[in-house]
Amino acid sequence: MTSERRIAHLDMDAFYASVELISYPELRGKPVAIGGRNQHRPRLLADGTREFSRLKDYVGRGVLTTSTYEARALGVFSGMGTMKAAKLAPDTILLPVNFDAYRHYSRLFKAAVATITPTIEDRGIDEIYIDLTDELDESVKLAERIKQAVHRATGLSCSIGIAPNKLLAKIGSDLDKPDGITVLGPADIPLRIWPLHVRKINGIGPKAASKLELLGITTIEQLAQVDAALLQEHFGRSYAIWLHDVANGIDNRQVVTASETKSISRETTFEKDLHAVVDRQALSVLFTQLCTKLAEDLHRKGYVSRTIGIKLRYDDFKSVTRDLTLPEPTADAHQIRLAAGNCLKRVPLKKKLRLLGVKASGLIDASASIQTVRTRQLELDI
């Protein structure tokens, strides 16, 4: 017999923006957007007050990472081009991203949750899943305790959804934001899940959603009731089965508490598009810098990599990748640069480029790798 699971999804409220407000409390209640580079760091004036950049001060490429709820009310959202946001709401305060601070608060809130309950799955910097099945307390009580612990540790609020699986818990945490608690059971599927747009399902992105829309499907209810054969025609067997399951609230994924890093990468979008021939010198310098940073990342995290890859994005936004598996794993900047250079030779370079990236995959624990090298050395000696 299987007992009903109890899964929570915890999502920090406007996380990056909320962390910034800890440093700049005078911005509380104002529209604030996060994005862009360091020249938009606030300046301390002689009278002790701070002067902030505004969206209208921004020039160049880039998107907003997030915004406060006040900015969202003006139509300024994460992922939006900064220039576009500036047109909509020119006087919105602009702050540069400060990932070190976000990582710090991320560690704090996760540690706080861990003092309440141990089975936690990391889902990035600002969200986690928690398996509460073995906890004794009632769900709302538990959620309140977790929220209190997070608030004590960080001063920040979060929203929590509790449901029989990850899919519903994730949808639930979004239903009462910010600072909410939502508990969903099977009976809530037709009442509270089916009226929602299919995009609320984690795993249905823009492409799948617009394909569904062409079939006349926009709500989860319509997806739940569509003929299975029609879905298979348009999406292939396994994705069609998955769509049908999630529309009916079915999701058997476990909460996974440990996972291994699969790849590490560095990429950069240029201020202006560059051409492989005309801007050869500048590109080469950037390319080497990326490889050096990647090598540092590998060293710091204790990995060596068997497969080095590159990514290019052209001015028409199309991208290509190439990769190369090496005979021996490496974390050496020069080796990485050589391999990446070889990859670059296999790519068309007529169009202008807007992005260049380098990636290390096939990661092996560096200390384990030393062992295999020693073993091989011994075999050679024999």
Which residues would be at the binding site for DNA (CB under 7 A)?
A: 59, 61-63, 65, 78-79, 81, 83-84, 86-87, 123-127, 170, 201-209, 236, 238-239, 259, 261-269, 297, 306-307, 309, 316-325, 343, 346, 354-355, 357, 362
**Which residue do the tokens 């979004």 mark?**
174
Rounded (5°) CA angle 205-208-210: 100
Which is closer to DNA, CB of 121 or CB of 135?
Answer: 121
Helix, strand, coil proportions of the chain in percent (round to 5)? 40, 25, 35
Closest contact distance (angstroms) between CB of 158 and DNA is 12
Closest contact distance (angstroms) between CB of 83 and DNA is 4
User: Catalytic pick from 20, 70, 121, 127?
Assistant: 127
Which is closer to DNA, CB of 170 or CB of 337?
Answer: 170
Closest contact distance (angstroms) between CB of 24 and DNA is 21
Which is closer to DNA, CB of 15 or CB of 194?
Answer: 15
Closest contact distance (angstroms) between CB of 365 and DNA is 14
Pairing assessment for the beta strands 50-51 and 127-131 based on DSSP bridges = unpaired
Pairing assessment for the beta strands 120-122 and 127-131 based on DSSP bridges = antiparallel
Which is closer to DNA, CB of 125 or CB of 276?
Answer: 125
Q: Which pair of structure tokens corresponds to residue 229? A: 């054969």
Which is closer to DNA, CB of 106 or CB of 135?
Answer: 106
Residue at 121: amino acid letter: E
Closest contact distance (angstroms) between CB of 224 and DNA is 17
Cα distance between residue 304 and residue 368, in whole Å? 10
Helical (H) or strand (E) element with 125: none
Catalytic annotation on 127? Answer: yes
**138 φ, ψ to 5°?**
-70, 155
Torsion angle, CA of 224/226/229/235, rounded to 10 degrees? Answer: -70
Closest contact distance (angstroms) between CB of 47 and DNA is 30
CB 146 within 8 A of CB 128: no
CB 150 within 8 A of CB 156: yes
**128 φ, ψ to 5°?**
-145, 155
Which is closer to DNA, CB of 67 or CB of 135?
Answer: 67
Closest contact distance (angstroms) between CB of 34 and DNA is 10
Q: CB pairs under 8 A, 24+ apart, for 208-217?
A: 208/235, 208/239, 208/243, 211/235
Which is closer to DNA, CB of 13 or CB of 297?
Answer: 297
Instruction: Give residue 41's Cα distance to chain centre.
Output: 23
CB 356 within 8 A of CB 287: yes
Which residues, listed in sequence order, are joined to residue 12 by a DSSP beta bridge?
158
Known catalytic residues are 127
